[in-house]
Amino acid sequence: MVTAVSSATAASTSQTTSTASTAKSTLDYNSFLQLLVAEMSNQDPLNPTDSTEYVAQFATFSGVEQSIQTNSKLDSLMAVSALTQANSLIGRTITSADGATSGVVSAVRAGSTGIEAVLEGGGSVTLESGTEVQ
């Protein structure tokens, strides 16, 4: 049974999803500064906002952006780890989780559905829970 690689496969798939959603939802420093300037220029002159509040907002924004970058790096590291683990399958016989595909592994690759074992006969098997290695 291949379980460690299948969890890494899920991480690799979630990496693609999180990278796509991160690209949609990230706010760069220029956008943040534009929002900050707009907020400062539209504040109530009789009740101005304390400057420490702006510094706190900037620090929070910076922390969130750093967390997003860290998660991206960790996702990449997980994908590399999954490929390294899957590399040990080369030359071994595997059977897909549904039992329909079986063969000797000639290579491994990161496919659109996760880590795949390429069989000598030309087929491929996605490494997931239930995949048997002999």
What is the per-residue pLDDT for 74?
92
Whether residue 2 is predicted with pLDDT greater than 60 in this model: the reply is: no
Q: Which amino acid is at 78?
A: M
Instruction: Determine the structural domain holding residue 118 and report its residue range.
Output: 4-133
Alpha helices in the chain (DSSP H): 4-25, 29-41, 51-87
Q: Is the pLDDT of residue 25 over 70?
A: no
**Rounded Cα distance, 1 and 13, in Å:** 20
Which has the minimum average pLDDT: 41-45, 107-111, 123-127? 41-45
Number of domains in the chain: 1
